[in-house]
């Protein structure tokens, strides 16, 4: 039994879609809680005017009845309101009538740092828009909706996940960058409390919780670095200052340098992960590139974009960590109904002499 997520959707296409399989039956979902996470993702300093067009809300097409999961695939949809301005340019079928609105002219000047060049070469595209639309971080709205469902499942076994910005002085850096028509990145941190020992496994690298969390975070647009616990700093320390001594009958730790994971398995301490986001690649003062149509030097594509999306990343990273922890918990505790799942969790807690540190 495992949880899986498939998403579909382009930034200015009709909608974003998320299909979750492997949820137990009987999990109560709160529409307002999912929408609240979608709202949090849209907020934040330095976001694009696009966010004034969108008001992200979840719609459910399948897998839910009267607010309870059925144990069948859950199909979620988030509409792209901006699609109304791109209905010709992003029409799924050959568009009818004269070109109108946005996205009617092919993009041929790739932005360094975006999917543009690699996507055009890989897929043999004459219009870079065919690459950038799916690569866009707009897609993270679908992941956040799925993450909100994962958080509801985790709450049933007393796990709470929270993402925060870990960059200081972010607003000032954003103001300065905007004035200079530039962009900035930053750091976010996600903490998961109440994670019991034993999620993930050292059996194979695919099972390792640290590898899975790293992949989940690295899979988010613009993330270039991931750290677990004291991460890179551990490389410069001695063993006596790098590990977490065990104490008391509850098997707690004095420190948490490992970030709650040892040998790819949760150890009962808080899970702490960080992700580094690069500055966004759409610059109002464009970088140099080559026009793929003419082969001549050119300036990269300039289009409406964010100056920063670090606060959004904190919400998206929270969703990604929640989804991966929920997946690991489904693997460990299984069950077709929520009652089975929670029952297996309780039985396991009864078996191990671990006590959650307050």
The kind and range of the H/E element at 148 are helix 140-155
Q: Which of 50, 253, 274, 332: binder of ligand EPS (CB under 6 A)?
A: 50
Binding to ligand EPS by residue 224, rule CB under 6 A?
A: no
Q: 160-165 and 186-193: which strand pairing? A: antiparallel
Q: Is residue 108 within 8 Å of 128, Cβ to Cβ?
A: yes
Binding to ligand EPS by residue 305, rule CB under 6 A?
A: yes
Cβ proximity to ligand EPS: between 119 and 229 the closer is: 119
Cβ proximity to ligand EPS: between 54 and 270 the closer is: 54
Q: How far is the CB of 253 from ligand EPS (least distance, A)?
A: 37
Cβ proximity to ligand EPS: between 316 and 325 the closer is: 316
DSSP lists the bridge partners of residue 123 as none
Binding to ligand EPS by residue 69, rule CB under 6 A?
A: no
In sequence order, the 6+-apart residues with CB closer than 8 A to the CB of 331 are 1, 2
Q: Which of 21, 48, 158, 201: binder of ligand EPS (CB under 6 A)?
A: 48
Q: How far is the CB of 52 from ligand EPS (least distance, A)?
A: 10
Look up residue 301 and give its DSSP letter. P
Cβ proximity to ligand EPS: between 315 and 338 the closer is: 315
Look up residue 337 and give its DSSP letter. B
Residues touching ligand EPS, count (CB under 6 A) = 15
Shortest-Cβ-distance residue relative to ligand EPS: 50
Count the helices and strands in the chain (H runs, E runs).
9, 17
Binding to ligand EPS by residue 11, rule CB under 6 A?
A: yes
CA-to-CA distance for 111 and 233, rounded, in angstroms?
Answer: 33
CA-to-CA distance for 216 and 208, rounded, in angstroms?
Answer: 12
Cβ proximity to ligand EPS: between 50 and 151 the closer is: 50
Q: Which stretch binds ligand EPS (CB under 6 A): 173-181, 186-194, 212-220, 298-306?
A: 298-306
SS3 of residue 333 by DSSP: helix
Binding to ligand EPS by residue 269, rule CB under 6 A?
A: no
Q: How far is the CB of 23 from ligand EPS (least distance, A)?
A: 25
Considering only residues 127-186, where is the footprint of ligand EPS by CB under 6 A?
136-138, 140-141
Q: Is residue 266 within 8 Å of 273, Cβ to Cβ?
A: no
Q: Is residue 40 within 8 Å of 141, Cβ to Cβ?
A: no
Long-range contacts (CB closer than 8 Å, 24 or more residues apart) made by 101-106: 102/12, 103/12, 103/129, 106/293
Binding to ligand EPS by residue 306, rule CB under 6 A?
A: yes
Q: Is residue 138 within 8 Å of 80, Cβ to Cβ?
A: yes
List interacting residues with ligand EPS (CB under 6 A). 11, 48, 50, 54, 136-138, 140-141, 221, 282, 303-306
């Amino acid at each position: 039994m495992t949880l899986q997520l498939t998403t579909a959707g382009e930034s200015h296409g009709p909608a974003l879609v998320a299909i979750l399989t492997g949820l137990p039956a009987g999990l109560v979902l709160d529409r307002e809680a999912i929408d609240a996470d979608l709202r949090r993702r849209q907020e934040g300093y330095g976001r694009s005017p696009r966010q004034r067009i969108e008001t992200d809300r979840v719609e459910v097409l399948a897998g839910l009845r009267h607010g309870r999961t059925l144990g069948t695939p859950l199909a979620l949809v988030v509409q792209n309101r901006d699609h109304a301005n791109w209905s010709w340019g992003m029409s799924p079928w050959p568009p009818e009538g004269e070109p109108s609105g946005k996205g009617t002219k092919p993009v041929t000047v790739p932005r360094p740092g975006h999917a543009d060049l690699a996507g055009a070469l890989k897929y043999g595209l004459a219009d870079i828009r065919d690459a950038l639309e799916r690569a866009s971080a707009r897609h993270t709205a679908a992941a956040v909706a799925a993450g909100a469902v994962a958080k509801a499942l985790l709450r049933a076994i007393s796990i709470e996940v929270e993402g925060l910005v870990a960059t200081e002085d972010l607003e000032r850096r954003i103001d300065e960058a905007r004035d200079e028509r530039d962009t900035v990145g930053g750091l976010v941190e996600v903490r998961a409390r109440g994670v019991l020992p034993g999620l993930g496994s050292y059996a194979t690298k695919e099972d390792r919780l640290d590898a899975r969390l790293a992949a989940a975070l690295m899979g988010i647009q613009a993330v270039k670095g991931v750290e677990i616990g004291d991460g890179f700093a551990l490389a410069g320390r001695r063993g006596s200052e790098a590990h977490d001594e065990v104490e008391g009958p509850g098997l707690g730790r004095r420190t948490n340098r490992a970030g709650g994971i040892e040998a790819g398995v949760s150890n009962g301490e808080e899970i702490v992960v960080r992700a580094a986001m690069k500055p966004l690649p759409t610059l109002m003062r464009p970088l140099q590139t080559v026009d793929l149509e003419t082969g001549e030097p050119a300036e990269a594509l300039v289009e409406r974009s964010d100056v920063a999306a670090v606060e959004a990343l904190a919400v998206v990273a929270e969703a990604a960590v929640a989804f991966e922890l929920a997946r690991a918990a489904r693997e460990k505790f299984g069950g077709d109904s929520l009652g089975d799942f929670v029952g297996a969790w309780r039985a396991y807690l009864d078996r191990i002499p671990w006590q959650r540190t307050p």
